[in-house]
Amino acid sequence: MIDDGIDYGDGIDHARRRFLTNATCAVGAVGVAAAAIPFVGSWSPSAKAKAAGAPVRINISKIEVGQMVTFEWRGKPVYVVRRSPETIQGLMGHDEIFSDPMSLASNQPAYVNGVHRSIEGKEEFLIIVGLCTHLGCAPMFRPEVGAQDMGGDQWFGGFFCPCHGSKFDLAGRVYAGVPAPTNLDVPPHSYETDNIVVIGVDQEAS
């Protein structure tokens, strides 16, 4: 209805009603636009989300022999262990105590050796995802050889999951007869230099 300024005697202020209607529509439009901003923004990953999936460069030069250092990649802990020549040699044999001694059914890149589970020529460093393959608990580092609470002469150092008792050696290979179904995962990684490892980038593509 057009407001011509005439009082029609119906007791309604038409000019005021039209003003309130227009104002309500305007406020509603602003509200819809404001609500749409975070919704549209959710379509694109945030900078933090992008960073969480990005490769991680780590300096391994200061890791001492026998030491484990933990890094984070894609929200997961990554264990880096520097092994001695004796430790690497000790990985050979004992196949009968492991579920998958050659890592044939485990998750690791094709360029990683199945026994010592590292890149050829870089056997000194073990790089694994620090999550038990049973239910995802973080295994404890137990490097002491022959620990009685870990099996005595059947224990050559490794990792113990405190949640359900799974055990892994210093190549991340799972012992037979424990809940974990497979060896600890080896993430894609490559050596940028002798001292810099890039987690999340395959060696063959580096």
- Each residue of 39-52: pLDDT tens digit? 443 344 455 555 56
- Give the residue among 177, 145, 181, 137 at the shortest CA–CA distance from 161: 137
H/E segment holding residue 60: none
Q: 72 pairs with which residues across the strands?
A: 77
Q: Tens of pLDDT along 86-144? A: 999 999 989 999 999 999 999 999 999 999 999 999 999 999 999 999 999 999 999 99
pLDDT number for residue 53: 76
Task: With beta carbons less than 8 A apart as the criterion, state whether 60 and 196 touch.
Answer: yes
pLDDT number for residue 84: 97
pLDDT number for residue 87: 96
| Average pLDDT of span 163-177 | 98
Task: With beta carbons less than 8 A apart as the criterion, state whether 164 and 134 touch.
Answer: yes
Residue 6 pLDDT > 80, yes or no?
Answer: no
Ranges of H-type helices in the chain: 14-41, 47-52, 85-90
| Average pLDDT of span 13-29 | 53
Task: With beta carbons less than 8 A apart as the criterion, state whether 169 and 160 touch.
Answer: no
Task: With beta carbons less than 8 A apart as the criterion, state whether 60 and 195 touch.
Answer: yes
* Residue whose tokens read 């011509």: 4
Q: Where are the domains of the chain?
A: 1-44, 54-205
Who contacts 199 (Cβ-Cβ below 8 Å, separation ≥6)? 55, 56, 57, 58, 71, 73, 78, 127, 187, 188, 189
pLDDT number for residue 125: 98
Burial bucket for residue 71 (CB in 10 Å: 0-12, 13-18, 19+) = middle
pLDDT number for residue 76: 97
Tokens of 161: 């999951």
Residue 29 pLDDT > 50, yes or no?
Answer: no
pLDDT number for residue 85: 96
H/E segment holding residue 191: strand 189-191
| Average pLDDT of span 157-186 | 98
Q: Which carries the bigger pLDDT value, residue 81 or residue 18?
A: 81
What is the percent of the chain with per-residue pLDDT over 90, rounded to a whole number? 71
pLDDT number for residue 68: 98
pLDDT number for residue 24: 53
pTM of the model: 0.75
What is the percent of the chain with per-residue pLDDT over 70, rounded to a whole number? 74
The CATH class that applies to domain 54-205 reads mainly beta
